[in-house]
Amino acid sequence: MVLSGKKIIAALFFCSVSITSAFAQVQTKKNGFVVSNDKLTTKVEFVTQDIIHVSKYPKGTDFKNLDIAIILHSDKTISIKTTNSKNIVQSNSSSYSISFDKSTNNLTISKGGKIVLKEKPQSSILENVLDDGQASYKVSQSFAITKEEAIYGLGQHQNGIANMRNQRIYMQQKNMDIGIPYLQSTMNYGLFWNNASATNYSDTLNTITLQSDFGKGIDYYVILGNSSDKVMENYGKLTGTPPMLPLWSFGYIQSKERYQSPEEMLDVFKKYRTLQVPL
């Protein structure tokens, strides 16, 4: 099969093939675990008691993401308990648990026995592509969500829609359309898709899928909390909190698409000075 553009001639490389527990290699960590089958490595790490980092990449590769949006890394003081049984690997914080099913290669996050977020079985996909001549992957991950929950976020788009259920959103920066790969659910979790390339979001049949054009692996954070406010607070801890603007900035704000000439821009400045309005 010939792939156009930057893609190479390659068969799909599915990293989510069915593997029995006998073939899964499990390594427990202080704050999580690493599971490898014959093709895929899944790494789970509690960054804090209620922030979980998940990365998936080809077995035997050294996966390191740039993390250009992440300011919070592993809390060395947290206590995480991990158990490894025949079919399930599970890590527990004080409030949440995340389990890996060795037979279906999917993760489930729960609280008090109730599922918060669950990956669709066999839905971790890495497809060989070329990124400016360099080997890369087109990466995709799907999640099963409930019929009742609402999904917000994903940036600023010109569709007039707040709840992103049953929508398809293409996240790529362009004029008047800003993509931010973060979504927040009314089930009190947020999901930050840690990939800076163009990304597709889709929601069909209670399944949300995030697919990015390029990446060395699948990389995402699940931000948890007892309320929407707490989820937002934890998101701020992970990626940084926007500063409060000075009081004077809450007055009149000059906005224009562009200035046609330097003289036009200077005339605007002069008017501000005449009216003694700060810029």
pTM: 0.84
Query: Which pLDDT score is estimated for 11?
Result: 37
Query: Which pLDDT score is estimated for 18?
Result: 34
> What span, in angstroms and rounded, lies between the C-alpha atoms of 162 and 86?
43
Query: Which pLDDT score is estimated for 53?
Result: 98
Q: Which residue has the higher pLDDT, 260 or 57?
A: 57
Beta bridge partners of 193: 220
Phi (first) and psi of residue 233, to 5 degrees? -60, -45
Q: Tell me the pLDDT tens digit for each residue of 113-157.
A: 999 999 999 999 999 999 999 999 999 999 999 999 999 999 999
Task: Read off the pLDDT band of 161 (50, 70, 90).
Answer: very high
Q: If you classify domain 21-239 with CATH, what class do you get?
A: mainly beta
From the list 33, 73, 57, the residue with the least C-alpha distance to 221 is 73
Give residue limits of the domains in the chain: 21-239
Task: Read off the pLDDT band of 1 (50, 70, 90).
Answer: very low
Question: From the CA atom positions of the chain, what is the Rg in Å?
Answer: 22
Query: Which pLDDT score is estimated for 76?
Result: 80
Q: Report yes or no: 32 and 45 within 8 Å, Cβ to Cβ.
A: yes
Q: What is the DSSP letter of 39?
A: S
Q: E strands, 95-206, where?
A: 97-101, 106-111, 114-119, 125-131, 134-144, 151-156, 168-171, 178-185, 189-193, 199-204
Q: Would you say residue 75 has pLDDT above 50?
A: yes
Task: Read off the pLDDT band of 74 (50, 70, 90).
Answer: confident
Phi (first) and psi of residue 99, to 5 degrees? -125, 150
> What span, in angstroms and rounded, lies between the C-alpha atoms of 123 and 104?
9
Query: Which pLDDT score is estimated for 10?
Result: 37
Q: Would you say residue 14 has pLDDT above 70?
A: no
Range from 68-82, 98-112, 255-269 that averages highest in pLDDT? 98-112
